Structure 1
């Protein structure tokens, strides 16, 4: 007697899932860090450089966590694309904040 094999098809998810929300918030925080890092590099303000470093660190940590625990690829609602964006923007914010802190 043969047992029927069930194949689960993954349908694309179009709504906001918890993975997408977390990765979106992390990407926005990292984007703010890039903005603060650019302003700190332009005007040599130490406080903005520290904010850029903190926001960049949050973006890298949360984005990396989302990418690490995501089950599935893009379009599954796990937030992997937003996690990658947060990871990259966080690294840019860390670099800008570090350069601005070095100059101030």
Structure 2
């Protein structure tokens, strides 16, 4: 179970990297692209799975539920913004908001 948890953790981190790369790809004329939307969705689902595995397994340390709740709300808002209305103008300021939420989530993951 610990090996599965470790592999899923690396995939989860890779999904966040995809979101950041998707943002940086269009940073001059920011827009919410498919890389950001799909990376956020994968990271969100894997985060839920990782919390479930950590809560159910004795091989992995139990998660800090306050930290998980804060990160879950931030990720949920970011996913909602990324998958929001279909037609968006090309320079979209929502991309900056999503990038700030992702950055906040990453800082919370490592600083808390």
Query: Could you state the TM-score of these two structures normalised by the residue count of structure 2?
Result: 0.47
Point out the structure with max Rg over C-alpha.
1
Higher relative contact order (CA 8 A, sep 6+): 1
Query: Could you state the TM-score of these two structures normalised by the residue count of structure 1?
Result: 0.50
